[in-house]
Amino acid sequence: MATDVSVRVVLRGRAVADPGALRACQVGLYAAVAVFGEVERQCTRFDPSSPLMRANASAADWVTVPPTCFLSLQEAWAAYRRTGGLFDPRVLRELVTLGYDRSLPFAAGALSLPGAPQPARLETRGAWDPQFRPLTHQVRLGEAVDLGGIGKGLAVRWARDRLLQACEDFLIEAGGDCYCAGLEPGGGPWSIGVEDPLGGPPVAVLALSDRACTTSSIRLRRWHVGGRPVHHLIDPRTAAPGGAGLLAVTVVDDDPAAAEVASKTLFLAGADGIAEACSSAAAAALWVAEDGSLGTSAAMEPYVSWRGR
C-alpha cells in the first residue's frame, strides 16, 4: 500500500488489571495489523500473481479468488453503484496509459515518464456489471480493475472490526486513512492533524471519536508524462486526471471505506464544484485548493477544533 501503518491501543480499567483482558487486546492488535497484509497480498495490482490480477487477466471468465479479494471486489461494485459510476475501479486502463503500471518511486522527488504530450483518446466505456458467486467466491469482472481507490479504506474498516472485539479506545492510521475509536489517552476525542499538501504545518485539526477520516491528495502521487503534469485521481467521465484547482480533500464518516470513496469522488468535483457537491451529499469534508485556501462543508464544522488558515 506504499504507506506506514500504525495501530495505537489505549489500556484502561479492566484491560490493565485483568491479564485475560490485556491478552485479548494484544490478540486484537495483532489481528488488526494482519488485515493490511491480507488486503495487500490479495488485492494488489503490482503483483501479477495476486488474486486480483489473476481475475483481471481472465476478466471474461469465472475466476475463484480468496475471501478478502472477493469481498473487496463486491465493495468496489457497491461503491460504483452508490456513486452512479463516479467511483469506477476500471480507471486502471487510464493509469496504465499514463505510465502508472507499476509501483513508482514518488517519494524520490520529481518523476518524469516518457510518453505523448497529450493523453491517448480512449473510447467511452459502458456500465460496469461484474458478476459474483458468493458460495464459491467466484467473480467474472468483465474488465480489469484497480482496487487502490477503496482497498486501504476496507483494510482500516476490517482492522477496526477485529480490534473492537477486544478494545474500546484505539487509533488506526494508514497514510491518509484513519479510524478513531473511543477516546485518546487523556480522555478526550482524538486530535487528527490535516496535512498541508503544500508542505507547511497542518491546515486544521479535527476532534474525532468513533469516526473515520480519509484524505485524498495529489501531494505525492503526481508525475509528468511527456512533459505534461498528471496525477492518480482519474475522472471516469473524461478518462483524465480530475479535480481541477484542488490539491486535497478530507472526509469524516462512520465508515473508513465510505470515507475513502467520498474523498475521491468529491475531489473530482474540482475547486469550483466541491462546495455544492458536499452540500448535495451532506458530506463532512474539508479541502485545500491550489492557491492554498481552505474550505469546509457545514457538516465538517463540528469536527474542526482548530484552523490554520
Cell of 37: 497484509
Residues contacting residue 187 through CB under 8 Å, at least 6 positions apart? none
Cell of 28: 486484537
* pTM to 2 decimal places: 0.95
Count CA within 13 A, CB hemisphere, residue 112: 6
* Angstrom distance (rounded) from CA 86 to CA 264: 9
Q: Domain with 268 in it: what CATH number?
A: 3.10.520.10
Q: For residue 56, give the amino acid letter.
A: N
Q: For residue 241, give the amino acid letter.
A: P
Total domains in the fold of the chain: 1
pLDDT of residue 182: 97
pLDDT of residue 276: 98
pLDDT of residue 122: 61
Mean of pLDDT over the chain: 93
* Angstrom distance (rounded) from CA 174 to CA 33: 10
pLDDT of residue 111: 87
pLDDT of residue 117: 58
Strands 222-225 and 112-113: parallel
Backbone phi, then psi, for 166, in 5-degree steps?
-125, -25
* Angstrom distance (rounded) from CA 20 to CA 197: 44
Helix pair 19-43, 151-164: axis angle to 10 deg: 160
Residues contacting residue 123 through CB under 8 Å, at least 6 positions apart? none
pLDDT of residue 118: 59
* Angstrom distance (rounded) from CA 211 to CA 119: 39
Tens-digit pLDDT profile for residues 159-202 = 999 999 989 999 999 988 999 999 999 999 999 999 999 999 99
User: Angle CA(45)–CA(46)–CA(50) in degrees, nearest 5?
Assistant: 60
SS3 83: coil
Residues contacting residue 186 through CB under 8 Å, at least 6 positions apart? none
Regions of the chain with pLDDT less than 50: none
Nearest to 288 by CA among 222, 224, 235, 216: 216
pLDDT of residue 232: 94
pLDDT of residue 121: 57
Straight-line distance from the first to the last Cα atom of the chain, in angstroms, rounded to the nearest whole number: 31
* Angstrom distance (rounded) from CA 13 to CA 2: 36
Domain of 27 in residue numbering reads as: 5-16+22-307
Rg (CA), the chain: 20
Cell of 25: 487486546
Using an 8 Å Cβ cutoff, are 181 and 159 in contact?
no
Torsion of CA 42, 154, 175, 97, to 10 degrees: 60
Q: How many CB atoms lie within 10 A of CB 66?
A: 16
